[in-house]
Amino acid sequence: MEMDKLVALCKRRGFLFQSSEIYGGLNGFWDYGPLGVELKRNVKEAWWRDMVTGHDDLSVPAGGPSTFEMTGLDCTIIMHPQVWKCSGHYDLFHDFMVDCRESKRRYRFDQIRGRWAEAKGQRIFVTTAVAASEEQADVERRALKYFNLRAKDADSIAWEGDFQPLPEIDEPSQVLAPDARALDTLTAPREFNLMFKTTVGALGGEEDAAFLRPETAQGIFVNFKNVLDSTRVKIPFGIAQTGKSFRNEITPRNFTFRSREFEQMEIEFFCHPDTSHQWYQYWRDRRMQWYTALGLSNERLQLREHDTDELSHYSTGTADIEYAFPFLPPGEFGELEGIAHRGDFDLRSHMEGKLDEKTNPLQVALGADGKPKWRGSGKDLTYFDDEAWEREKGELGFKSFKEYLKQRKSEPQPGAPFQYVPHVIEPSAGADRATLAFLCEAYTEDEVPDEKGKLQTRTVMRFHPRLAPIKCAVFPLVRKDGLPEVARDLYRTLKAQMPVFYDEKGAVGRRYRRQDEIGTPYCLTVDGQTLEDQTVTLRDRDSLEQCRIPLDDCLAELRQRIG
């Protein structure tokens, strides 16, 4: 599938527009159009229903060690600045960037790639920052310019090896930057924090500085105690949240894949340390199944376990669910979701002060004065398993937990095993990336016969019916003989229950094509026979099969097919 075709369809049919387009657009920001907003809502609603509201608290799930509970939150985008200091985002959430002294452009260091080229006795590294599919054309064009050659002399340039990322090149003097005419114009890489800064209140001093959240996860950690205290949830349980996140990406690219404003769908799953690895495996597999159940093909999806040397020592696993997006070179995959075993790092950092992830066992990171670099909340974010304590206190010979603690005060964790900091498994997905993957997967061109039996190319978006923006279109075959009246009644009945489109304009074949192009899975056509036997034709977008069903059964039939 060519990405250009999908991008054109998204604009033409109202899935996605560039933000502020009439003013030239703003790089890294995208607006969802009338169909796009429905598609993305369906992705988020499917996630929320499958992960939260539809979750069965009473059954042990396949592959999971026990039953568990799920609940949700909706936290603010701007939070206390200390949240980001203790989470590590203030100090560590950065990318390396380089500036070009000639073009005055800024690039993400690891996203510049290039190839060695030799001509006229000189060997240079020609770089580019364009999409992988256009890289070769771009470096060829720029090498011709640099060596002052005409297109017909392109063969006189000898290309050496494959594309390599710039960080692997240690001869900066031979590098031709992506938009430069001269060599050696890039600065040394520098750190760039990705959080958007803003000001709270009217005074506007540095003490009023705040940040737009770069992830939704921290809102969950800082509300952990509130959820425990306000509900009856017991460990293991998960808290889910969907919402906007913001990252000042140095080089947003690949349609919505890397945006500066995007939506996440995150779960923090709190469990006992002893079962955390089993839960990690459960969530990794369950999240993978979610994408395939909604139509992503196994050939384009992969679950990539991080190597043990990529993991922090406090984590027993991290995996990425990746998709072979069509804008990537063949064989390359882009991240859809990360599932991380985070140990007790986050809750302890918000309790004790930002932990130093390099220490083992984890210690609070200290500043130059030997004091905690970022002070935690000091609030008790441990979990007390009162049921286990009630069960076992008699056998242990204690009357109160206070007494138990007193006896064990010299232990490293005096409250264990009844009181502990839960371990966390974090399945963290992007709503926009998932939507983009569903768009890429759905885009298909096939050949179908027209009314005269001649094969015509059709563009069809094969969305899973749960995700399709419009579930059904209703047509009268012709605009006379009382058919529109029946079709409109049917439309009204269905529209009260689901997104349905009514269309009576043009040949019925053309009406089908228009619906195929936006992924409507079913069309219902009212024709002459409807007036005789009260049945309509139901046409399936993918198989093109047509069958007759009673008018009165349309709603139940659609509900059953959509699932």
Beta bridge mates, 355: 364
Q: Does 243 bind ligand GAP (CB under 6 A)?
A: no
Contact, 136 vs 211, CB < 8 A? Answer: no
Q: What six digits make up the tokens of 163?
A: 């594309």
Site for ligand GAP in 265-294 (CB under 6 A): 266
- 428 is an interface residue for ligand GAP by CB under 6 A: yes
Nearest CB to ligand GAP, comparing residues 89 and 464: 89
Q: What span, in angstroms and rounded, lies between the C-alpha atoms of 266 and 346?
A: 15
Least Å distance between CB 364 and ligand GAP?
Answer: 21
Nearest to ligand GAP of 242, 535 (CB atom)? 242
Pick between residue 47 and residue 404 the one whose CB is nearest to ligand GAP: 47
Question: Should residue 249 be labelled a site residue for ligand GAP when binding is judged by CB under 6 A?
Answer: yes
Q: Per the structure block, which two tokens stand in for 259?
A: 């945006």
Distance CA 6, CA 24 (A): 21
H and E: helices and strands count for the chain: 16, 29
Give the binding range for ligand GAP (CB under 6 A) out of 98-106, 224-232, 255-263, 537-545. Answer: 255-263
Min dist CB 563 to ligand GAP, Å, is 25
CB closer to ligand GAP out of 127 and 318 = 318
Task: Describe the strand order of the beta sheet including 522-526 as a list of residue ranges.
Answer: 500-502, 472-476, 522-526, 535-540, 546-550
Beta bridge partners of 98: 107
Query: According to the binding rule CB under 6 A, does residue 335 interact with ligand GAP?
Result: yes
CB of 9 to ligand GAP, least distance (A): 20
Q: Where are the beta strands (DSSP E) in 166-299?
A: 175-176, 190-193, 197-199, 209-211, 237-246, 261-271
CB 236 within 8 A of CB 272: yes
Query: Which member of 43, 124, 220, 336 binds ligand GAP (CB under 6 A)?
Result: 336
How far is Cα 289 from Cα 336, in angstroms, rounded to an integer? 13
Shortest Å distance, C-beta 76 to ligand GAP:
16
* Number of residues binding to ligand GAP, judged by CB under 6 A: 19
9, 166, 212, 217: which one contacts ligand GAP (CB under 6 A)? 217
Using the minimum distance from each CB to ligand GAP, give the nearer residue, 224 or 522: 224
What's the closest the beta carbon of residue 258 comes to ligand GAP, in angstroms? 5
Task: Kindly tell me which residue out of 13, 40, 89, 258 binds ligand GAP, with binding defined by CB under 6 A.
Answer: 258
Q: What is the DSSP string of 13-76?
A: TTSEEETTGGGT--TT-EEE-HHHHHHHHHHHHHHHIIIIIT--TTSPPTT-SS--EEEE----
CB of 299 to ligand GAP, least distance (A): 20
Which listed range, 67-75, 335-343, 444-452, 497-505, lies at the site for ligand GAP (CB under 6 A)?
335-343
Q: Among 185, 242, 264, 349, which residue sits at the site for ligand GAP (rule: CB under 6 A)?
A: 264
Binding of ligand GAP by 259 (CB under 6 A): yes
List CB contacts of 559: < 8 A, sequence separation 6 or more: 497
Name the DSSP class of 328: S
Displacement of CA 494 from its chain's centroid (Å): 32
**Nearest approach, Cβ of residue 352 and ligand GAP (Å):** 20
Asked whether position 185 contacts ligand GAP by CB under 6 A, the answer is: no
- The answer to the question of residue 95 lying near ligand GAP (CB under 6 A) is no
Residues 415, 403 contacting (CB under 8 angstroms): no
Least Å distance, CB 98 to ligand GAP, is 19
Q: Does 215 sit near ligand GAP (CB under 6 A)?
A: yes
Structure tokens at 412: 């490293």
Candidates 9-17, 221-229, 332-340, 391-399; binding stretch for ligand GAP (CB under 6 A): 332-340
- Residue 424 C-beta: closest distance to ligand GAP, Å: 11
Q: How far is CA 153 from the centre of its chain?
A: 45
Among positions 322, 337, 346, 352, the unique one binding ligand GAP when judged by CB under 6 A: 337
- The answer to whether 110 contacts ligand GAP (rule: CB under 6 A) is no
**CA separation for the pair 163, 537 (Å, rounded):** 54
Whichever of 215 and 516 has its CB closer to ligand GAP, that residue is 215
Residue nearest to ligand GAP (CB): 430
Q: How far is the CB of 360 from ligand GAP (least distance, A)?
A: 22
Rounded distance between C-alpha atoms, residue 86 and residue 79, angstroms: 12
Q: Name the pairing type of β-strands 363-364 and 355-356.
A: antiparallel
Q: What is the 3-state secondary structure (H, E, C) of 105-153?
A: CEEEHHHCEEEEEEECCEEEEEEECCCHHHHHHHHHHHHHHHCCCCHHH
Restricted to residues 132-151, the positions that interact with ligand GAP (CB under 6 A) are: none
Which among 121, 100, 102, 104 has a CA at the least distance from the CA of 112?
A: 100
**Minimum distance from CB of 320 to ligand GAP (Å)?**
7
Sole binder of ligand GAP in the list 100, 186, 296, 429 (CB under 6 A): 429
Q: What is the dihedral of CA 544, 547, 551, 552, to 10 degrees?
A: -110
Minimum CB separation from ligand GAP for residue 191, in Å? 17
Looking at the Cβ atoms of 247 and 466, the one nearer to ligand GAP is: 247
CB of 300 to ligand GAP, least distance (A): 16
> Given candidates 85, 142, 247, 539, which one binds ligand GAP under the rule CB under 6 A?
247
Pair of tokens at residue 124: 């240079």
State yes or no: residue 433 binds ligand GAP (CB under 6 A).
yes
Question: Which lies closer to ligand GAP via its Cβ, residue 140 or residue 263?
Answer: 263
Rounded to whole angstroms, the Cα distance separating 54 from 60 reads 14
Q: Check binding of 317 to ligand GAP (CB under 6 A).
A: no
Q: Which of 322, 432, 503, 527 binds ligand GAP (CB under 6 A)?
A: 432
Q: What own/partner pairs with CB < 8 Å and gap ≥ 24 does 178-184 have?
A: 178/100, 178/103, 178/105, 178/107, 178/112, 178/127, 178/128, 178/129, 178/130, 179/100, 179/102, 179/103, 179/105, 179/129, 180/100, 180/102, 180/103, 181/102, 181/145, 181/146, 182/102, 183/124
Binding residues (CB under 6 A) for ligand GAP: these are 215, 217, 247, 249, 258-259, 262, 264, 266, 335-338, 426, 428-430, 432-433
